[in-house]
Amino acid sequence: MNAIDRAKEAALNAVPCTPDDALEILHLPLDDLPILLAATWEVRKKHFGISVDLCSIINAKNGRCGQDCAFCAQSAHHHADIAEYPLIDEAKVAGAAQAARNMGAGSFSIVTSGLAPSADELGSIRKMVSGLARIGVRPCVSLGILDRQALESLGAAGLHRVHHNLESASSFYPGICSTRQWSDNLQAVLAAKDAGLKTCSGGIFGMGETDEQRVELALQLRDAGVDKVPLNFLHPIPGTPLQDIPGPEPFTCLKIIAAYRLFLPDTGIVVCGGRDRNLGYMQNMIFHAGASGMMIGNYLTTSGRDPLHDLEMIRRIGLEIAS
């Protein structure tokens, strides 16, 4: 029995494949793509049926971040050409959330730059969260590193999920960020879990990490017990240290999605940033590779594809939008 068959058999029973099999899947040649996608499609249908979980975000505060993450256009350490602005008002958030809901998004996240919001910002965000619940989307936030008091306050306002990426495997992380520790990211995720909130945490691929480190990150996410895993693919932005890295090829992206599906068989896997740029016309294959959802609309500092095109893509391959 080969790695694909072993991994599929385990994943169909909600058992993670072994790290060795995940690594072998990441090493597969292009000729094995049809066999791999047939296996991951079967696993996806077993655990998620034909539904697609859609989420969307709003960049509610942009730029002037004191962190030096090498991939990020918002860092004050870099020289990306972006529009900087303070926290936007509640009406703009509500309008964006309503538009996302109208397109089928079940979750909507408020995202801000910086290590953590100020007390005044947190008070405003708490009101925004309450408003999202009334619109009918599951309120989510990505606000940096929050303490227990902030988490409980947002939870009382109706917050559903906290997003905070581990970004990469711990062994690779020092090469992309020096202003905080990888363990700080992990603790932010665990703190949200301890506060009784759902968690969303993943990483960015194509920054120069090895396949072994991609498996390492999968292990670390599994051990953290995250509820949903967003997979992002590098979109190199001029003015950042990673501006000259081309980003992963489509086949590489699909293998990463597949390996994560087989290693995290019944965990939600959402394809997010870099989807359009790195997968192009192969975007519809993310679901065959095992993705259970995707982000629609714009990202933080880059534009996404027209959501109508995404909805049509989902319809044409016989899948349905989750409620």
What value does the mean pLDDT take over residues 72-87? 82
Q: Phi and psi dihedrals of 137, rounded to 5?
A: -105, 155
| Residue 301 clears pLDDT 70, i.e. is over it | no
Tell me what pLDDT residue 229 has: 98
Averaged pLDDT of the chain: 93
Examine the pLDDT at 303 and tell me if it is beyond 70. no
Model pLDDT for residues 97-152, shown as the tens digit of each residue: 999 999 999 999 999 988 889 999 999 999 999 999 889 899 999 999 999 999 99
Residue type, position 63, single letter? G
**Cα–Cα separations (whole angstroms), residue 224 to 126, 127, 128, 185, 252:** 26, 29, 28, 11, 25
Q: Which residues contact 23 (CB under 8 A, 6 or more apart)?
A: 211, 212, 215, 259
- Phi, psi (rounded to 5 degrees) for 135: -70, -30
Alpha carbon distance 124, 128 (integer Å): 6
Domains of the chain, each with CATH number or no CATH: 3-321 (3.20.20.70)
Question: Which residues, at least 6 apart from 264, have a Cβ–Cβ distance to it below 8 Å?
Answer: 16, 218, 221, 222, 229
Write the pLDDT tens digit of every residue in 181-194. Answer: 999 999 999 999 99
The contacts of residue 282 (CB under 8 Å, 6+ apart) are 250, 254
